[in-house]
Amino acid sequence: MALAIFDLDNTLIAGDSDALWGEFMAANGLVDTEVFREGNNRFYEQYKQGVMDIWEYLDFCLKPLTHFTLDELEAWHKKFMEQQITPILLNKGREQVEKHRQQGDHIMIITATNRFVTAPIARRFQVDTLMAIDLEIQGAHYTGNVIGTPTYQQGKVTRLQEWLSQHPEYTMEGSYFYSDSKNDLPLLKKVDNPVVVDPDPDLKKFAEEHEWQIVSFR
């Protein structure tokens, strides 16, 4: 049984769920619209350039979650799924997940977006394991703090290695990782079968130089 690992944003879905959630909050008045949109757009550009400070970003994007109860956030997230996520689920991504499922592979999503935003999306793809940025909860609220290593850049490798140490029945032998982003090069370099999906220009160049498989789910 091999590991079939997928990035989420701009890989299995045709957009960035974190940026879309930020825009959703702004559009629905859950944050100071003008200020939050500026920050949301600025951090997303930094992410695409591979220079985003993850801790600075998390301080920015998690703070609004602390202002609502978990039940309130769940209700908003249902609307977010209907309006923003369901329309951008990629059928070719679903088909590739299903192909690995039929092969008996263990299907994982490892994403740099937090678990609140991504868990309902991962359930749509029926993955076996989701690794995301885990959030601390106290009572009925998120605290704005993160638990463990953020699953961003090298952090994806760190978290996967931690998971493997807890699940010795799995190894990296025959492993796949599908991603669109140069931010995921650390993990792409670790798997036996790196697959770049509708890649950004820097990742496409690297993949071509190293003769990695390039595919499109769009």
Domain ranges of the chain: 3-14+89-215, 17-87
- Please say whether the beta carbons of 53 and 157 come within 8 A: no
Residues of the chain scoring pLDDT < 50: none
Q: How many CB atoms lie within 10 A of CB 144?
A: 16
| CA 74/CA 133 separation, integer angstroms | 17
The 10s digit of each residue's pLDDT in 106-159 is 999 999 999 999 999 999 999 999 999 999 999 999 999 999 999 999 999 999
Task: Tell me, yes or no, if 180 is annotated catalytic.
Answer: no
Per-residue pLDDT at 7: 98
Q: What is the CATH number of domain 17-87?
A: 1.20.1440.100
- 3-14+89-215: CATH superfamily: HAD superfamily/HAD-like (3.40.50.1000)
Note if 7 is an active site residue. yes
pLDDT score for 155 = 98
Given this model, what pLDDT does residue 205 score? 98
Q: What is the pLDDT of residue 56?
A: 93
> What pLDDT, on the 0 to 100 scale, is given for residue 2?
96
Report the pLDDT value the prediction gives residue 165, as an integer from 0 to 100.
Answer: 98
Active-site residue among 7, 105, 180, 184? 7
The CB-side HSE value for 129 (13 A sphere, CA atoms) comes to: 15
Integer Cα distance of 103 and 6 in angstroms: 16
